[in-house]
């Protein structure tokens, strides 16, 4: 369920290319996905680090 929103971006990108036939719109969706994925990885790494930091402090 966590990565489900990224599938929406995939559908949007496919729609941009097949229905609208606009490469620039696809590029915008791709840039947005890159930002979202970077934020997701950053947040995930923060949570993993905090978990193991707390575990090591015991």
Domains in the chain: boundaries: 4-56
pTM of the predicted model as reported, rounded to 2 decimal places: 0.82
For residues 29 and 46, the answer to whether their CB atoms sit within 8 Å is no
Q: What six digits make up the tokens of 16? A: 């941009």
3-state secondary structure 2-55: CCHHHHHHHHHHHHHHHCCCCHHHHHHHHHHHHHHHHHHHHHHHHHHHHHHHHH
For 8-44, how does the pLDDT look when each residue is reduced to its tens digit (9 = 90+)?
A: 999 999 999 999 999 999 999 999 999 999 999 999 9
């Amino acid at each position: 369920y966590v990565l489900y929103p990224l599938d929406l971006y995939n559908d949007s990108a496919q729609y941009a290319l097949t229905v609208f036939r606009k490469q620039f719109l696809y590029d915008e969706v791709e840039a947005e996905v890159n930002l979202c994925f970077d934020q997701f990885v950053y947040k995930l790494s923060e949570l993993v680090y905090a978990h193991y930091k707390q575990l090591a402090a015991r």
